[in-house]
Structure 1
Amino acid sequence: MVDVETTGLRSSDRIVSVAVEVLDRHGTVTDRWSTLVDPGRDPGPVHIHGLTAERLAGAPTFDRVAEDLAEYLAGRVFVAHNAPFDWQMLTSEYRRLGTAWPMERRLCTMALARHLELPVGDYRLATLAEHYRVRQLRAHDAVDDVRVLSEIFRYGLHEAAGAGLPLPLTAPGDEPGQRRAAVARGRNAERGTPAKAPCPWVNPGRLDLGVGLVQGMRVVFTGETDRPRERLELRAIEAGLYVTGAVSGKTSVLVTNDPRSGSGKNRRAAQAGTPVIDEATFVELVARVRPGTARVGVVPAPRGEGGPAVDAGGPVVVPERTEAGAAFDPARAAAVPTRAGAAPDPARAATVPATAPDAPRAGARAAVRQVLVLQGHDEHLDGGRVRQLVLESGARLRINLTSTVDTVVVLPGAAADPRIARAEAFGAVCLTEAEWSASVSGTPTAPATPGRPDTGHLPRGGTVELPGGAHPGRWTLNASWAWDRPDEEIDIVAFLLDEHERVRGDADFVFWNQPAAPLDLVVLDASGPAEQTVTLELDALPRDVRRVVIAAAVDGTSTFDAVGPIELDVAPFQGTAFRRSVLDAATVERVLLLGAFYRLGTGWKFRTEGQGYEFDLAGLAASFGVDIA
């Protein structure tokens, strides 16, 4: 858990204080560390963080604390509220020193709260603290903020587990372009699977079903699974198999429940002649993996009955039950001493509720119907048509299956989809299209969820005026898609355009290798493994920037028919969704215009686009005047 206070909001600003809490897999705070930092300049917004030049006098400069801080961070998952900001400020400090940034994975509690769709008016730390009844003693004090962060994070972990939500883990790297490098190493880090060490076993080659799995075999997973993907991968690793994120000539076996999906991994497996098995076969085989041949110079760890313990470099794990049948107790965990011989912190223990607050929880049924549409591989257009009918009915369309889904519409080609059984286990009703139509005939639109502003659906081509007139402030567009599609990477990009619909220069093209416009006025960041966010400082954009167009592009040879629907959430910064859109039924397109923020008179508006093109991202960038070398 990390929180920083700074001299400002730009990457060129400096840190004035930093606080860290280390949590183990049970959610227990095992260590704490904090320090003031002399920024070597004016401390900036003293009215916010309260750190005057006098208070910072004599504090160490960042170069004197960087090594100590790195010891707390190395090999762990970075968790913060509005994590991209804290991550950016810290990586900038380490970059100035020419020192390696010691972390690879990140989780944002603001993104987690958005996934949980908590019944709150915004996702600020103070609002979430009030929701969870965690007492905030000193807002914008790094030590107190990180304490509050730890408590709301543990509640969020429980709710995510109950709702069947994967954690929004990302592997963004510390330099522009490193997000793509992290993805190229496989998406396991983003989904939260254990960090991979070199496999201690020689790769014995491809799977022979007559022999079975052998330690050292390279295993790749793709598509929807009945069991959590992380659990399957962990079982493979514990058995001595090597889990990778891409199919190659060295892959021993591909595990998929749908070998006809046409995904990139399935296509590459067919080209390479890689054996393909389903999940049930894998579970049967992994229970009796044959011993492998140890690699020279690598000593395999002993295989205990329960498998190796996950160290600090492993995944974020939902806090376990502490006793048989007893639920995890946040108050009890909070009172555990942080160092040997250290006394519990009574102020901390007193502020943590022993039981969960009475506020609505993720996973509870909402007043508005939550509908997921399942389709077969040849039913893309039918799926888009039914999803449009769902939206017109006033229901909330979902693009992923969680326990918040109460209705699943199953098209004929999806009759064998494994998600049907999972949905029924959640208590959802599964209907045919005809049954769905009958169920909504004459049904009035349900009211908005209490405690949340009314979020209207914005159809393709729809526009909405942003509140605030000439000063709308900071806004975000969050784009998300199905967790298991596609195998190729999806890139969200932004173009700052003038009155001639052209960029003023290449710096106005924001993409994975240049994730921020000058002065951080438009910033791109990965919010999770299947979502990305663009943050815009609309008040500060130069007057000659008339529109900011945001688009999506599929990397590799895939097209948007493999992606399915893309959901857009447009919201004020740290706020709940102001408008939502679902763009659907794209087929052979490789780039898709999502939406645009644009000036109209003295104010700003947003328009949902949905126009797709068969050319690639380079073609789209060139059409807006970007010089593609």
Structure 2
Amino acid sequence: MTTTSLNTADWPATYPRDYVVVDVETTGLTARDRVISVAAVLLDAHGAVAGRWSSLVDPRRDPGPVHVHGLTAGDLAGQPLFEEIADELADLLTGRVVVAHNASFDWKMLDAEYRRLGRNVPAEERLCTVTLAKRLELPLPNWRLASLATHYGIRQLKAHDAEDDARVLSEAFRFALHEAARGDLPLPLTRPGARGVSRLPVQRSAPPKPPCPYVNPGAAHEGMLVQGMRVAFTGETRVPRETLEADAAAAGLCVTGSVSRKTSLLVTNDTESGTGKNRAAREKGVPVVDEAAFAAMLADVRPGVRVDVPVDTAPPPPSVAAAPQPPMADIPEVPVEARASGVLNVLVLHGRSEHAEAGRVRGLVAERGHRPRLNLTKSVDIVIVLPEGGSDPRAAKAAGLGITCLSAAAWEAKFVATGAAESTPPGADTAEGDRHVCRELPRGGVHDLPGAERPGLWTLQASWRWDRPDGEVDVVAFLLDASEKVRGDCDFVFWNQPATPDGGVSLEVMGSAEQGVTIDLDTIPSDVVRIAVAAVVDGTSAFDAVGPIEVQTGPFQAAAHTRSVLDAATVERVLLLGEFYRRGAGWRFRAQGQGYEFDAVELARRYGVDVES
């Protein structure tokens, strides 16, 4: 694998400035389950580690799949409750982009925990590394963390361990972040707290607290403070709380908002106040001093051990361990996988009035066995430029990258009229050795899902142009019975109702131009015979402002089994993407691509949803 250094002076201006890589282990997969372990790695704008934190959590229930996460009831008994670490974790999340692998899951579990406390997740944006890997078109056999780690040469020490998974993902994300920055690709940022998504970082009102650069040496004893100790405050103070916290941080102490077994000292002027921090300090044996004693201790803080010292000379504890970072020059530039089959990746650039012609050209590309692309990435081999497409900034960028640019007439003369051999007939199942190859499914094409009546968990992902000029796109789904109607309004899955009551069908905002539907086909009620999935354009826009939609389907986290590029002409505001339906004892997927001029409300009504006027 070759490596190149990236001049950070040329770093994309729209990229965020702070990230926190998060991993959680849980008692199960639903929001009713509980977090039992959480780890966070703080990263700066360029992906360098700025701090680490982790904690086990006592769920006060059965730990669930021990064979997966390895944590027994005995391991978790007596560990902090989530409410006892909520403030400390919130300090790490605030003002940062939350990065996770299958980020919607980690976010869902954290959101459920904070909602139990009457709070929201203290972050505004998240980024899913699965979606980022797809945007980079990494040649992975599937989208699991282990495959991403192998791709970047990162060693996993203990899979499904929150601390090690967070470490592995932070290293992989750093590589992927630099790879995206080289191509100036927009990052797949989403804002889970609001409908729709945000393509650009938002202005953050609360800057994150800087991480403590010192290892936590443990509890404070005999009136002595050491840099890295965790200090909490509670109750009224004579000196403003903000001043005390600032003085403590300036002295090299770690100011925390909660009390746990890792807390070194609690400062309070009223030990009998009965606050949660006072109770926790008594239960966990955390030393307690008043404000005056703390001021005296603060005058003589002993030097601590920095987290960035070599591990072999001063190994810090697991919760703050800082692994050495590769220098900037070691960020790998992953070469494009050779396409020995002769299949070309082709991007068509056009203006809004040329949408229909562009669709025809993309159809020709697919007929010849090549792959129409929606975005300019390093995998694109040829760019076809229609007359109005010359003003698209991607045309100049493609030429600057040395990518072959052709007019539609030149493309047809070279690859169609000359009878160039097709590499793979559209819709055919293909394989290269033992490696699965995605099936290009044309409009109306059908794919039999493996697994007969129990195909398991499947995902449909829809994606479109990252730089769409206007219009908000949303993916919706309908569970339909034999009469082609929903059984009730709960069978309509959309932005305000993102999952069915049993969680069998759920929506996921994967990125700024990617949304998906995950379906547990094994649990779909027998009277549901079809699940229809559509994309709708909000407001007054139509699909001429969005362009084609790429649809991929496959088992959850596995490589895609089918892929389709669907054009929706010009004035349509609804595009049926595809349907999963029963066929005998099994399931099938059909790509559709039918567009309609009416809006999402009318679509819902036609499927029998009771929509208020």
1:420 to 395, 398, 402: 395
- Note if 1:379 corresponds to 2:334: no
- What displacement does 1:192 show? 3.0
Whole-angstrom CA distance in 2 between matches of 1:586 and 1:362: 35
SS of 1:519 mapped into structure 2: coil
Aligned-pair CA distance for 1:336: 3.2
What does residue range 424-503 of structure 1 map to in structure 2 within 5 Å?
424-440=399-415, 441-446=418-423, 453-503=436-486
The alpha-carbon deviation at position 100 of structure 1 amounts to: 2.9
Report deviation, 1:442: 3.5
| Separation of aligned partners in 2, 1:583 and 1:392 | 14
AA aligned to 2:32 is S
Q: Any idea what SS the aligned residue of 1:128 has? A: helix
Percent identity (aligned): 58
Q: Output aligned runs, 1:149-164, within 5 Å.
A: 149-164=169-184
Deviation string 1:498-537 (CA, Å, 9 cap, x unpaired) is 1211111111111011111112211111111111111111
Do 1:473 and 1:538's aligned partners in 2 also have CA atoms closer than 8 Å?
yes
> Is the contact made by 1:10 and 1:519 (CA closer than 8 Å) also made in structure 2?
no
Q: Distance in 2 between matches of 1:357 and 1:603?
A: 46
Q: CA deviation at 1:587?
A: 1.9
How far, CA to CA, are the matches of 1:476 and 1:102 in structure 2? Answer: 28
Contact map agreement 1:7 1:16 (CA 8 A) in 2: yes
Aligned CA distance change for structure 1 residues 624 and 467 (closer, same or farther; 3 Å): same
Q: CA deviation at 1:378?
A: 1.9
Which of 529, 539, 543 is the aligned partner of 1:556?
539
Instruction: Give the corresponding residue for 1:203.
Output: none
Q: How does 1:574-613 map to 2 (within 5 A)?
A: 574-613=557-596
- The code of the aligned residue for 1:468 comes to G
Q: Distance in 1 between the 2:46 and 2:328 partners?
A: 16
Q: Is the 8 A contact 1:567 1:580 kept in 2?
A: yes
Q: Quick check: 450-459 or 53-62, which moved more?
A: 450-459
AA at the equivalent of 2:599: D
Counterpart contact for 2:473–2:537, Cα < 8 Å: yes
Which of 169, 190, 195 lines up with 1:179 in the alignment? 195
- In structure 2, what is the equivalent of residue 370 of structure 1? 345
Q: Are residues 572 and 164 of structure 1, via their aligned partners in 2, closer, same or farther at CA, if it must alter by over 3 Å?
A: farther
CA distance in 2: counterparts of 1:393 and 1:356, whole angstroms = 40
Question: How many angstroms does 1:445 deviate by?
Answer: 4.0
Match of 1:361 among 309, 322, 334: 334
In the alignment, what sits opposite 1:614? 597
> How many residues are matched?
481
What is the aligned partner in structure 2 of residue 538 from structure 1? 521
Following the alignment from structure 2 to structure 1, what is the Cα–Cα distance between the partners of residues 65 and 459? 23
Q: Write the letter of the residue equivalent to 1:496.
A: L
TM superposition shift of 1:55 = 0.9
Secondary structure of residue in 1 paired with 2:502: helix
Q: Residue 300 of structure 2 aligns with which residue? A: none
Partner residue of 1:53 out of 73, 78, 97: 73
What residue number does 1:235 align with?
Answer: none
> Which letter does structure 2 place at the counterpart of 1:474?
L
Asked if 2 retains the 8 angstrom alpha-carbon contact of 1:403 and 1:423, the reply is no
Shift of 1:468: 1.4
Instruction: Give the whole-Å Cα distance in 2 for the aligned partners of 1:475 and 1:486.
Output: 31
Deviation string, structure 1 residues 546-584 (Cα, Å, up to 9, x no partner): 111000111111111221111101121112221100111
Q: Deviations over 1:135-170 (max 9, x none)?
A: 111110101110001111111112222344221111
Partner of residue 405, structure 1: 380
Q: Aligned residue for 1:298? A: none
Q: Residue 200 of structure 2: which of 180, 191, 194 is its match?
A: 191
- Structure 1 distance, partners of 2:80, 2:316, is 28
Provide the C-alpha distance between the structure 1 equivalents of 2:376 and 2:434, rounded to a whole number of angstroms: 24
* Displacement of 1:11: 1.0
State the Cα distance separating 1:90 from its structure 2 match: 0.2
Sort the Cα spacing of 1:342 and 1:151 in 2 relative to 1 into closer, same or farther, 3 A. Answer: same
TM-score, normalised via structure 1 length: 0.72
Q: Bigger radius of gyration, 1 or 2?
A: 2
Partner residue in 2 for 1:518: 501
8 Å contact 2:49–2:322 — kept in the other structure? no
Greater displacement, 486-495 / 88-97: 486-495
Distance in 2, matches of 1:145 and 1:552, equals 34
Name the TM-score, length of structure 2 as normaliser. 0.74
| TM superposition shift of 1:626 | 0.7
The residue identity in structure 2 corresponding to 1:482 is R
In structure 2, how many angstroms separate the alpha carbons of the residues matched to 1:585 and 1:506?
Answer: 27
Mapped contact 1:547–1:596 kept (Cα < 8 A): yes
- Does structure 1 retain, via aligned residues, the 8 Å contact 2:448–2:589? yes
Of the structure 1 ranges 25-34 and 469-478, higher mean CA displacement relative to structure 2 is found in 25-34
Contact 2:94/2:122 (<8 A) preserved: yes
Task: Name the SS of the counterpart of 2:519 in structure 1.
Answer: strand
Is this contact kept in 2: 1:481–1:565, CA < 8 A? yes
Structure 2: distance between partners of 1:128 and 1:379: 39
Moved more, 372-381 or 59-68: 372-381
Q: Is this contact kept in 2: 1:77–1:103, CA < 8 A? A: yes
After the TM superposition, which parts of structure 1 deviate over 6 Å for at least 4 consecutive aligned residues?
A: 344-348, 350-355, 447-451
